[in-house]
């Protein structure tokens, strides 16, 4: 089921790039490592980067009880979560038609505090799996004190839209013959060689979920 | 000269990660391809990703005259520009101490419309050089009509702060001996092989500034 178009989520610039189906949005949400959350301090918008996770139709944020972001998010005031994946640089023959290939999602919503301990653990497991699948099964789980120090906020994903640009540059007809290279430089968030903690015991080998880590789903 | 600490820009969570000198912030701003701008629609925060550039102590945004973001930015109302570079995933022995390595900058400011045509061209050149150095010298420059259709907004960088996390995981003393791999998976936005426009003439070769493209400054 798609998102209903509203005044807020409707794509006005480049409407052909807009997508309102949940599958398209959820794929982007799940692939992106972090999101940017827009909150309000009096009349001042504040944008804070943080890691997220998704369970079904809910977006989950977590953080310290002292965090400005989490305290706003739990208040139920309107917030905006924007998720952006950069896919490439689009080089047209004219500078005017230069662009980026990207996939983004904007969610307008309100957070609610997750209070049930079991739900909180499920949320933290989702965050861990979002960061790196396999890790939850191996690392030490949160203890009572750590769980208590962590706030989890759930944001129902009801009003959202995705925006996607892909493919080659679009040049003006009269520019096509210019002697200028045109095309796309694809970009991707790539892992480099894992760096072991200097304090790591020499008998501990690199897990496969670390050596094979890729961001793309 | 550094940024004065204010109520808004002061790093409250993990204050040791905070940096208030311009050099640290500018390096992040210049390396990051895009920013996320927080604006306000009535009481609803809205976060929009866009490309930016910097000239001296000014951040520059550009876009269509019809863009919601540009129209807000030119209005002089308070906005927030957040720039985030992901550097890696930090795997601690406990899930609680998992983290990200990142560099981020948050700028609180107000935009002003750049009206002078020469200044606007200088700004567009800065955006082009931010995206990919060398391109301005080769691609077709904006003509009168294109320049007219483009708004440029300048945001003086006066109230800002950077936040940086680097290095290995920090585990609790009592977790150090757990038989769990710990360390960092470095991540970087990497270019893949350039994809020529299917309509590109066969006599046009790949420029060096495209084949050698790297994001890191």
d(CA A171, CA B198): 12
Q: What are the DSSP calls for A146-192, one per residue?
A: HHHTEEEEEEE--EEEEEEE-SS----GGGTTSS---EEEEEEEEE-
Instruction: Report which of B195, B60, B175 is spatially closest to residue A143, judged by C-alpha positions.
Output: B175
The answer to whether A179 contacts B201, with C-beta atoms less than 8 Å apart, is: yes
CA–CA min distance A188, chain B (Å): 5
| Confidence (pTM) | 0.96
Residue B170 half-sphere exposure, CB side, CA atoms within 13 Å?
7
User: What pLDDT does residue B14 have?
Assistant: 85
Q: What percent of chain A has pLDDT over 90?
A: 87
A166 in B contact zone (CB under 8 Å) = no
Residue for token pair 């998992």: B98
Q: Look at residue A6 in the predicted model and tell me its pLDDT.
A: 87
pLDDT 10s digits, A128-148: 999 999 999 999 999 999 999
Q: What is the number of CB-based contacts under 8 A between chain A and chain B?
A: 294
* pLDDT (mean) for A54-77: 95
Q: Which CATH class is domain B15-169?
A: mainly beta
Instruction: Indicate the fold that domain A15-168 takes in CATH.
Output: Pnp Oxidase; Chain A (2.30.110)
Q: Dihedral angle at the C-alpha atoms of A76, A80, A85, A90, nearest 10 degrees?
A: 180
| pLDDT averaged over 10-residue windows placed end to end, chain B, 217 residues | 84 83 95 98 96 98 93 96 98 98 97 97 98 97 96 97 96 96 97 97 95 85
């Amino acid at each position: 089921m798609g998102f209903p178009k509203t005044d807020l989520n409707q794509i006005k610039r480049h409407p052909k790039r807009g997508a309102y189906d949940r599958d398209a949005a959820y794929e982007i949400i799940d692939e992106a490592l972090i999101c940017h959350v827009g909150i309000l301090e009096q009349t001042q918008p504040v944008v804070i980067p943080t890691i997220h996770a998704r369970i079904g139709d809910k977006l989950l944020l977590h953080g310290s009880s002292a965090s400005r972001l989490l305290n706003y998010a739990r208040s139920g005031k309107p917030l905006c979560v924007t998720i952006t994946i950069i896919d490439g640089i689009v080089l047209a023959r004219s500078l005017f038609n230069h662009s980026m290939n990207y996939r983004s999602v904007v969610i307008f919503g309100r957070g609610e505090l997750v209070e049930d301990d079991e739900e909180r653990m499920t949320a933290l497991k989702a965050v861990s799996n979002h960061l790196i699948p396999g890790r939850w099964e191996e690392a030490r789980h949160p203890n009572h004190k750590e769980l208590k120090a962590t706030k989890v906020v759930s944001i129902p994903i009801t009003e959202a839209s995705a925006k996607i640009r892909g493919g080659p540059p679009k040049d003006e007809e009269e520019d096509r013959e210019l002697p200028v290279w045109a095309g796309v430089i694809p970009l991707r968030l790539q892992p480099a060689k894992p760096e072991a903690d200097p304090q790591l015991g020499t008998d501990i080998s690199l897990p496969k979920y670390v050596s094979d880590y890729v961001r793309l789903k």
